[in-house]
């Protein structure tokens, strides 16, 4: 058994485990890392319906296959949402959760705003480089199909959020939330509101950072994650 803490890295929607490579490289000397692709991502078959529950189950299944009884979770955006749900459903398996740029105030209006940005034709016209990247990341599956499934998931989240103040207030393990002060998707206000109901919460605001998890932001997060592991008593 490794003497290092085990840290699961969960990517955001329309990304893959490789999207967190700069963070993984910075953390590798100090943690046993588990990186995986969430269902429908990274070339895996795109289901008819993307469900948060299937994502939680996929993470637990991966931990079971590797014989990992308990781990820390880092999740970016959707990955943070999955990590918090995993902590709610399997508290004995989760030592702590670090969620960065994770939206925790979903409404139909918020979902509609995000879905507008996921229109494949709009992406091809306005951001062809993004569309090309999605095609490469998720080949041989069609990126248009995955984008539509993610949009459908966001609509469900807007109508029926899986995480609310009650869920957060019942999480007994350490949870850290962080957000960039220029994030247009996740507001500082909603992140502070979520932090305030956490029994063991910490909050970090990253200056000059927007929602996309650029390599420079990942490297900025690495020492914060190490401090999080120390705070939770997981660091070796």
pLDDT at site 4: 84
- DSSP assignment letter at 43: T
- Per residue in 69-118, pLDDT tens? 999 999 999 999 999 999 999 999 999 999 999 999 999 999 999 999 99
Correct CATH for 6-105+162-231 of 3.40.50.1820, 3.90.850.10, 3.20.20.70, 3.40.50.720: 3.40.50.1820
Which pLDDT tens digit goes with each residue over 147-161?
999 999 999 999 999
Residue 173 CA to chain centroid, in angstroms? Answer: 17
Q: How far is the first Cα of the chain from the last one, in angstroms, to the nearest whole number?
A: 12
Q: Does position 235 have pLDDT exceeding 50, yes or no? A: no
Stated as kind and residue range, the H or E segment containing 150 is helix 143-159
Q: Where are the domains of the chain?
A: 6-105+162-231
Strand 201-206 relative to strand 6-10: parallel, antiparallel, unpaired? unpaired
pLDDT band at 236 (very low <50, low <70, confident <90, very high): very low
Question: What is the reported pTM?
Answer: 0.96
Q: What is the pLDDT of residues 198-213, one digit of tens each?
A: 999 999 999 999 999 9
Omega into 140 within 30° of 0, i.e. cis?
A: yes
- At residue 232, the pLDDT reads 83
């Amino acid at each position: 058994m490794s003497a290092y803490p085990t840290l699961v890295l969960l990517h955001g929607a329309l990304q893959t485990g490789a999207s967190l490579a700069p963070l993984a490289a910075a953390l590798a000397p100090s943690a046993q890392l588990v990186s995986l692709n969430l269902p429908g991502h990274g070339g895996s078959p795109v289901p008819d319906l993307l469900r948060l529950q299937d994502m939680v189950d996929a993470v637990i299944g991966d931990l079971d296959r590797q014989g990992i009884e308990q781990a820390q979770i880092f999740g970016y955006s959707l990955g943070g949402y999955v990590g918090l749900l995993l902590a709610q459903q399997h508290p004995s398996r989760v030592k702590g959760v670090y969620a960065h740029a994770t939206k925790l105030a979903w409404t139909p209006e918020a979902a509609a705003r995000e879905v507008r940005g996921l229109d494949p034709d709009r992406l091809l016209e306005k951001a062809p480089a993004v569309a090309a990247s999605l095609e490469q990341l998720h080949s041989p599956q069609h990126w248009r199909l995955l984008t539509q499934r993610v949009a459908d998931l966001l609509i469900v989240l807007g109508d029926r959020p899986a995480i609310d103040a009650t869920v957060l207030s019942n999480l007994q393990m350490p949870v850290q939330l962080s957000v960039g002060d220029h994030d247009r998707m996740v507001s500082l206000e909603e992140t502070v509101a979520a932090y305030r109901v956490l029994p063991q919460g910490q909050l970090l605001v990253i200056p000059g950072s927007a929602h996309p998890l650029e390599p420079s932001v990942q490297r900025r997060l690495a020492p914060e994650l190490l401090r999080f592991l120390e705070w939770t008593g997981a660091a070796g």
